[in-house]
């Protein structure tokens, strides 16, 4: 029986005939095609024209790889002459599956964007080979808007304002404005160059008024300028300090205390005992429920040496439990106040910075208890923002930043090969 070693697969590009295929010595597959479309649209008058006028220079477009081979499509675009326009100008025919001036087919561009989700330009260039960052930026520009398109945005009532640093330790934070839609999807609305009240207020005012009126909840960090701007532009919205921002503060306080206690213990304890206090950072930071048995051992050892640290640890876990389980604002306020009394009754001073914040922001922190159940908003948002924050280091151009975050948030929905309805 004769051996069969090749297969035929449809090329799936509309309006073409395959003329030839060739595998080069570099194992690239070059597919020569010609257009079967008998007309073009006159670039001057916009009418359909069918007077063939020869071929344009050949173009070579990179396409989706096949069986690990880099694939190129070669085409000589047809030209047509317009009988309606003065001087009978010619127009080069444009087929649906590529964009003028792009060195790639649209299908390959979509794949590049998919690869770029949560990745970096240089990494994608390395993986694809024979591809420069500029070509990739061109793809981004062709597929991703640099600003939100309000017309296609689903309705939403929850808005989030969050700052991200583009460089560790630098105070050039930008503000990321996001919308959480009822179906759970997160959409990027804008990136603001700074977090002053004027900048935030002007941006909020710039939203279409129907969108503005629909906003019921705004999640922010404890930052006066946000609150002032939101109160002015969105008076109907409840301001919620989300638990993740709150947690950052009280957890930081306890972390500093841990460092301080470790330093003290290392000095005071005999060397042999001090040695046993290694590797306690993560056991101490992790949630109790997530501790492995050996981590629990290390944590217990540390806490046994410092009863004060144990108190601080317990209070921290207690506060987290309050945020986990409370479902109404009244109960939340009651429990926060009870927790506060407990801290004051203890000899601990490590929570002093947090208590100060709590005094100022108590009411808005407690708004979280009212809203988190119905919106389910903050959890998803913050997990995504955590990832995004890391991505923004080194991207200084706000336009690129907008495109890249949009790609991360919406890329799978928009560019996955199985056609899924968009918006």
Q: Which residues bind Zn ion (CB under 5 A)?
A: 42, 44-45, 82, 84-85
CB of 418 to Zn ion, least distance (A): 39
Nearer to Zn ion, 78 or 404 (CB): 78
CB of 96 to Zn ion, least distance (A): 21
Nearer to Zn ion, 23 or 45 (CB): 45
**CB neighbourhood size of 139 (10 A):** 23
Which DSSP state fits 150? G
Nearer to Zn ion, 42 or 225 (CB): 42
Nearer to Zn ion, 82 or 381 (CB): 82
CB of 153 to Zn ion, least distance (A): 37
CB of 80 to Zn ion, least distance (A): 10
Locate 74 and state its tokens.
Answer: 């070669």
Nearer to Zn ion, 82 or 140 (CB): 82
Per-residue exposure over 242-271, b if at least 16 CB sit within 10 Å of its own CB, e if not: bbbbbeebbeebbbebbeebbeebeeeeee
CB of 40 to Zn ion, least distance (A): 10
Helix ranges, 221-242 (H)? 224-233
Q: 413, 420 in Cβ contact below 8 A? A: yes
CB of 93 to Zn ion, least distance (A): 14
Residue 340, judged by CB atoms within 10 A of its CB (0-12, 13-18, 19+), counts as middle
Nearer to Zn ion, 84 or 205 (CB): 84
Nearer to Zn ion, 39 or 118 (CB): 39
Q: Which of 409, 379, 365, 372 is nearest to 191 (CA)?
A: 409
CB of 16 to Zn ion, least distance (A): 25
Give the integer Cα–Cα distance in Å for 90 and 81.
4
Q: 401, 182 in Cβ contact below 8 A? A: no
Give the integer Cα–Cα distance in Å for 346 and 348.
5
């Amino acid at each position: 029986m004769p051996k069969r070693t090749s297969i035929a697969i449809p090329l799936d590009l509309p309006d073409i005939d395959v003329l030839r295929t060739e595998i080069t010595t570099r194992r690239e597959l070059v597919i020569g095609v010609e257009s079967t479309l008998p007309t073009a649209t006159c670039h001057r008058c916009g009418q359909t024209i069918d007077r063939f006028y020869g071929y344009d220079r050949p173009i070579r477009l990179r396409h989706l790889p096949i069986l690990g081979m880099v694939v190129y499509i070669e085409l000589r675009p047809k030209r047509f002459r317009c009988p309606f326009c003065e001087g009978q100008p010619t127009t080069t025919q444009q087929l649906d599956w590529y964009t003028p001036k792009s060195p790639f087919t649209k299908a390959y561009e979509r794949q590049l964007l998919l690869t770029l989700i949560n990745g970096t330009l240089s990494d994608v260039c390395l993986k694809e080979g024979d591809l420069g960052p500029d070509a990739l930026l061109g793809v981004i520009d062709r597929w991703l808007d640099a600003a939100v398109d309000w017309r296609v945005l689903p309705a939403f009532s929850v808005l989030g304002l969050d700052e991200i640093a583009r460089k560790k330790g630098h105070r050039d934070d930008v503000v990321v404005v996001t919308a959480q839609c009822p179906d759970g999807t997160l959409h990027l609305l804008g990136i603001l160059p700074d977090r002053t009240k004027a900048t935030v207020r002007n941006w909020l005012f710039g939203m279409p008024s129907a969108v503005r009126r629909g906003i019921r909840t705004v999640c922010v960090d404890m930052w006066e300028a946000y609150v002032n701007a939101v109160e002015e532009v969105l008076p109907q919205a409840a301001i919620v300090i989300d638990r993740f921002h709150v947690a950052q503060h009280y957890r930081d306080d306890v972390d500093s205390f841990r460092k301080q206690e470790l330093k003290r213990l290392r000095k005071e304890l005999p060397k042999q005992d001090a040695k046993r206090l290694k590797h306690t950072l993560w056991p101490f930071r992790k949630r109790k429920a997530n501790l492995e048995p050996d981590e629990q051992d290390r944590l217990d050892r540390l806490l046994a040496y410092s009863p004060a640290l144990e108190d601080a640890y317990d209070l921290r876990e207690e506060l987290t439990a309050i945020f986990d389980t409370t479902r109404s604002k009244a109960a939340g306020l009651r429990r926060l106040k009870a927790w506060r009394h407990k801290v004051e009754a203890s000899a601990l001073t490590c929570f002093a910075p947090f208590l100060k914040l709590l005094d100022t922001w108590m009411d808005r922190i407690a708004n979280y208890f009212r809203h988190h159940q119905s919106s389910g908003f903050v959890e998803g948002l913050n997990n995504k923002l955590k990832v995004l924050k890391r991505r923004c280091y080194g991207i200084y151009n706000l336009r690129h930043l907008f495109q890249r975050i949009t790609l991360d948030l919406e890329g799978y929905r928009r560019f996955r090969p199985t056609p899924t309805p968009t918006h």
